[in-house]
Structures are given as structure tokens and as C-alpha cells.
Structure 1
């Protein structure tokens, strides 16, 4: 079982409140536009984390590619994918893949407007909090920072497992 969701990290800086000595207001100077990384992640209750990304919005074919990668990670078992009802998840390309891998992948859709039921939302929150108050001048710099945070989480499966302890999610996964 894996939970899947997409998100984006923009070059526009995420700002958080901070402290500074009186009279020394911290300044964040940015020159970014709307460039962003499109990211997709799958997390499992055992602490496994799978992330894909690109510098353009995801297409149906990208979703099929990611599901194919998940299938290759879970070669010996059928795969239960729990995700939201985004239109890209219901595309013809995804339906064709399901027909081609009949019985191998089972998709379950979360109820509409219920991000609190998806532990991947907690992963995105954690990732984006770690990027606050930083300025990235290129997608390459942003990619390096994102990959570093992902690497840290991959090395700490207990942290990923903690995303499943939220009461709304624990009810479903236990």
C-alpha cells in the first residue's frame, strides 16, 4: 500500500516569521518568476519514500511512468495506490495501464476535499517547511535543496512512518 500525491516547489521563496536583533530587519531578496519543480511522491506505512520530479507540469504519461516505477519496486506484490481524485489520475492513459496490468495495481480514491486523509500531504508540509526563508535563483539550486531533504527523509524511515500516526490516517492504515 502506498499513498500518492503531487505538489510543486516554486522559486518564489516561502517566508516564515523569524527573530532578528532590534533594528536589523532580515531581508529576503528574490528575482524569481513562477518557475517550479513538479513533484510526485509515494509513501508507504513501512517508511519507504519514492519521489519523482520534473521542471514542467505532469501529464497523464508522467503519472503512468511513475506508477510503472512503483510496480517495479513492488515486483512480487500487487500494489494498492491511494490518492486523490485529480483528473490526471482518471485519464485514459492511466486506465490503459490498469487494463494492461490487470489485477497488479488497484487504485483507491480518497474522498473529495480530504487532504487530511493523505499522509503525503504531511510529507509535502515537512519538505516545504525545510525550504522556508531560503532564496533559490535557479531550478538547479532548488532541485539540490529538495533532493537533500528527500535524502534525509529516506535515511530516516521512522520520520516517514510518523506521517501515518495522524489520527485520521492511523484509522485507515492500522
Structure 2
């Protein structure tokens, strides 16, 4: 027996044309009660002429509605910034302290001195640089050795005088029993040296609330030299009010992508960068302007 092939449909019957879609009846829109007036009556087709609403959505450009009102009042959508919670206004406290310092400096002919400490370790900071496309630049670092360069800086301001930077560095090598930061004797020596470099003028020192600044030897030093030394404390968690923070940021940015092998290679680099900032009083004035504190005499 031979297999019979299945019967084929005539070409005129395939594919079948689809029937046209059935006309859809427009659904009548239910009438809604407006804010005032009688209920609207639908027409013969079931449509209702809706009255204009009292409140409309604002146009895309934000010129109408609630968004337009807030825009005209000077408001705009913004992402909130994080700030440490405190019971006092940091800016008001700082401004009050600086105003007091300005008046005292004007009466005594004193220098206003902002002081802060920082450190630079062996790990290099990352900074943007040039490289071929698709090739990430690599900085070869070594895990041998340890250490840290300790820095203390003072920006000195006096109306009519050039802004100055006085700094002191120490090298911490990670040895047993070695001090890891500046202590009260080093601060006393730094203040005495700063007064000598500034022409034996009175000093109004503005610094943070570090525990070392409350040490007993430093309090005794202040009492013995109260005729030329006045200490003013910044509000807690207020690094943005100290212009010396700008010095540290500028220094660390200039040391980006550097990989010193030993701490003895890092120390001269730090001193060289600090001397470069010291020779630019206009840079120091920029750090002061960034804090927003007015230091001109009232």
C-alpha cells in the first residue's frame, strides 16, 4: 500500500480573511455633581459636558498650582544634607565667638589664630590622572614599614597685615612607647614660637574641643600667660568653621597618587607642600572665605 498524502486546502481558502471588528457602542459617562449648581443632564449620545474644576494640575513648566506658588516664594526641591544634631546653632555660636575675638583683637592689636591638627600616613590618596583608554593606572605601594607624619597648623589673621601660616611637624614611626600626637608641652612651645614670629603681639587662639586642649599643663600655661594669650573654643563637630581644614585638604590633594617607600621619604614631601602653601597668602585668604566667617573689623 502506498501512503496517501493529506488533502490540501485550495489556495483561495487560505488564509481566511478576518471579519471586520464590530462597532463598539460609546459608553455613557455618568454625570458627576459639580461644586455648585444642578446635576448636568447627558445628551442623546450619553455624553455629559463637565464643568471646569476649581483646582487644576500645574503645567509642566511649574508656573501654576502649588508647585508654581512655592517656586514664586523662592522654594525649590532639594536633597537635605546631613548635619550632627546639636541643641545650639553652630553658625551663631561661631559668629558670636569671632565677633568677640574681632573686638578684642581690635582693642589689643592682637592676631586671630585658627589652629588645628592632622596626620598623613603611608597610604597614598587617590586622585584623577591621565591614562590610555581601557587601562586603569596603577600605583605600586609597599606594605613594609609604618609611620605617620603629624601636623599642627595655625592660620594667623590681623586687619591690615598679610595672612600667615605657621606649622609644626612630627614623625611617628610606630615604635613602642612613642607618642602618637601633639601633647600639651608641644602646644605650649608652638604658641610661644608663634607669638615670637608675629612680633610679640597678643594672640587670640580659636581651636576645637580636642581632649589635648583641655589638659592641665595647657590650662596652667594659659593662666601664666593670660596677658597675651586668649583661647576661644569652636562649637562641637564644626570642622567647616576652621580654615585650617582647607590647608589639610589642599595638602592631601597635592600628595595624591604618591607612594613613598618609607616614612623618611614622606616627611620632606609634607614639609615642602606646607612651605608652598605658606608662600601664598591669597590661598590662605581663600580658606578663610570658604568658612563664611567675616574677619573684617566691625
Task: Tell me the TM-score normalised to structure 2 length.
Answer: 0.55
Determine if contact 1:13/1:134 at 8 Å carries over to the other structure.
Answer: yes
Greater helix percent: which structure? 1
* Residue aligning to 2:276: 152
- Who is 1:49 aligned against? 165
| Preserved CA contact (<8 Å) 1:12 1:34 | no
Q: Give, in angstroms, the shift of residue 74 of structure 1.
A: 2.9
Show structure 2 runs of 5+ residues with no match.
Answer: 1-111, 173-180
Counterpart secondary structure, 1:150: helix
Change (3 A) 1:102 1:163: same
2:242 corresponds to 1:118: yes
Residue equivalent to 2:182: 58
- The total of aligned residue pairs comes to 172
The whole-number CA distance in structure 2 between the counterparts of 1:104 and 1:61 is 18
- Is the contact between residue 81 and residue 105 of structure 1 (CA under 8 Å) also seen in structure 2? yes
Q: How does 1:86-125 map to 2 (within 5 A)?
A: 86-125=210-249
Counting strand residues as a fraction of each chain, which structure ranks higher?
1
1 or 2 for the larger relative contact order (CA 8 Å, sep ≥6)?
1
Specify the structure having the higher radius of gyration (Cα).
2
Alpha-carbon deviation of 1:60? 1.7
2:138 aligned with 1:22: no
Structure 1 length-normalised TM? 0.91
